[in-house]
Copies of this chain bind each other. A is one copy, B any other.
Amino acid sequence: MTAVTRSAPDRLLAVLAAFDHGHTALSLSGISRRAGLSLTTTHRLVGALTSWGALERDADGTYHVGLRLWELAALAPRGLALRQVALPYLEDLYEATHENVQLAVRDGAEVVYIEWLSGRSAVGVHIRVGARWPLHATGVGLALLAHETAGFQQDYCAGPLASFTPYTVTDPAGLRRSLAEVRRTGAAVSRRQVTDDALSVAAPVRGASGQVVAAVSVVVPEADAQVPVLVPAVRLAARGISRALGWQPGPDDGTGGAA
């Protein structure tokens, strides 16, 4: 697709899309190249975005994402707004476990991490705020997938399912069994499926209408993971966030199958 055939909104959004985790600061020519736009067009669009505050210009002439976009993003119900409600409960979970704590939502066939608490000393995991991961490998992904519609789950399980370690469940029947187990126990356990040495325990977060809107998890070194201790802690945090979002448990929700 050449620049000429693209609509005006598409060109402006292409300038924004030039920025990602590998490209947080870009020169005008870098933006032009990554957006596939002429230098003249890029110059004009970057000017408009900069004067609006969506981009900011450094002293050395490079551009980065500006504070105005951050303020706008604070209004995203599934981003900062959800994270703002959830943060106290995530902090409690961190205090109780002193392990990596995450909050994630589903976007298409992926999870997006919208919060991540690890303190300064916690073990490193390959996760950062805004990162994406397929649903079937991570604890949060399994917790979310298990509460999707039957049709969505069927399509997802039909694959292809990417493998990250020898332990990643990539066969449809095995994944379906995992999802049934998540619904039965109210928690998802992903053992060595993302990295060889990590285990995550996740639980679903429900919104006011009872539907699952997010998932919370802890990630710990697999070698000394105490799953029976982590499951109730994670489920408690998830229920706390759910209540703060307006969820009210039904008569059946005292059992393992509830959030």
Contacts and interface: CB of A to CB of B under 8 A. Distances in A.
Contact of A70 (B13, B21, B79): B79
A112 interface: yes
Contacts of A119: 88, 91
Identical copies in the complex:
2
Categorize the interface residue count of chain A.
Answer: 35 or more
A73 B72 contact: yes
A205 interface: no
A67 B105 contact: yes
Nearest to A116: B84
A17 B64 CA distance: 19
A105 B56 CA distance: 14
B76 A70 contact: yes
Given A19-B72, A80-B130, 6 more contacts: A9-B49, A12-B12, A13-B52, A16-B72, A19-B75, A70-B130
In the complex, the 9 A-B pairs of residues with the closest C-beta atoms, listed nearest first = A70-B79, A73-B73, A8-B8, A74-B130, A9-B48, A65-B76, A70-B73, A65-B75, A71-B130
7 contacts: A13-B49, A13-B54, A24-B77, A53-B107, A56-B78, A70-B73, A91-B117
